[in-house]
Amino acid sequence: MITNLWLGTSNVPASDGATFPVYDPATEEHLVDVADASSADWSKALDLASAAQSEWAQWSPQSRSDILREIYDEVMARKDEFAELMTREMGKPFAQAQGEVDYGAGYLRWFAEEAVRLPGRFAQSPAGNGTMTIQPEPVGPVLAITPWNFPLAMATRKIAPALAAGCTVIVKPAELTPLTMLLLGEVISGVLTRHGAPDGVVSIVTTTKAKDLSKELQADKRLRKVTFTGSTRTGKILVEQSAQHLQRTSMELGGNAPFIVCEDADMDLAIEGAIAAKMRNNGEVCVAANRFLVHSSRAQEFTDRLTQRFQGYVTGHGMEATTTLGPLVSAQQRDKVAQLVDAALAHGATAAIGGIRPEGRGYFYPATVITGVGSDEDILHEEIFGPVAVITTFEDLDEAIAKANDTDFGLAAYAFTENVHTAQRLANELEAGMVGINRGALSDVAAPFGGVKQSGFGREGGTEGIEEYVNLKYVARP
């Protein structure tokens, strides 16, 4: 296991020798201690990133593409090693962790392909008195801050476009899940060294002092961009801090996705979609269905069938082959889910299944279906981030859309209908960056992932994802 920082290609302990512990959420066992960086360490990372930036920007797109492709190949060759680390540090079942390696590595391959296709533009001035070229240039050193729910994928979808565009990057993974990223550091560092890239193109800084890190790095005018996935609360702090030097920012923040099941929905599709949108990653997903809005005539059928499916979940350690529902990532996360459910039940809601926090070791919470929730209940307004499906009803499409949009967030939305006009209306009127029609899984390396409203701004993946890492320069000529 790699437990030291990557300051460029050097794998070193924190300069003051500090460490912090990492635990297995299924057993609460101490796994290992990891370097706890402080100011001297992240300053060094920025010195290196800043020194490497101009040389790295001049590397040919093809070399940057080749490097990304080799990183992809090596991650895929070591898939099970990555997957096991993820399962141990954050709890997801091993098969899902393998799925995350496929998905996360997919961004490395996708942006290896995009690196050689970064478009510019040439045009004649309409007045006929000159020409213009519009050329993309890397924004410069990037700080990437990532969450614990997808320890690999949330980072690769930032690192890959940044490298493709010619930026250097400092990565700050979540303190609950530092191990996956430190292993990726080994792979990246090996490939960059083999290619003779300047030292400092990628650094990985694990720390418990995230607040100080962002404050100090953002106060340094050499840092030119912050890309973040995490809570809306933290995103707002980072945007505020970006004002001092007007750093560019991309913010992929919280969600509160509605999942609408219309009167005419294909119930088989809706149930499969609900399982994908709710239960993947133990429900700890920013695009997870947070509110099921079901037409009143189909609510009983939907509730019964979802409850039946939830009965089949087997709780346990993610490394056990039979496990389909792992623990939540921490005691704090499990307690938050339990509190939301307990409050709803205390105010008159009913649990069709689950709803009881288990005793014993590990931060487990059962697959839960709740009905009869009042419209003011916190569980409808906060991101649950757990395996809890809350089902409410509607009578007509206007009501469904109004309820779906009655949130400060706007990341993902899902809708199930067999009517093409209803589908188009929902796609148009749902206030979200991403809409799944008759589909409960929408993440795709080729699509622009991101939100509106307090779910943030900026897009990751697709042909759009690389634009977050380039500035456009307009050159006028006679």
**Which chain residues interact with ligand ADP by CB under 6 A?**
145-147, 172, 174-175, 210-211, 213-214, 230-231, 234, 237
Q: Closest approach of Cβ 333 to ligand ADP, in Å?
A: 8
To the nearest 10 degrees (0 to 180), the angle between helices 61-77 and 153-165 is 160
Hey, which residues are catalytic here?
252, 286
Closer CB to ligand ADP, 214 or 250, in the complex: 214
Closer CB to ligand ADP, 172 or 317, in the complex: 172
Torsion of Cα atoms, 186 then 188 then 192 then 197, to 10°: -110
Comparing C-alpha atoms, which of 442, 344, 430 is closest to residue 388?
A: 344
Which amino acid type is present at position 187?
A: V
How far apart (Å, rounded) are the C-alpha atoms in residues 262 and 418? Answer: 8
Residue 362, beta-bridge partner list: none
CB-nearest residue to ligand ADP? 230
Relative to beta strand 169-172, strand 142-145 is parallel
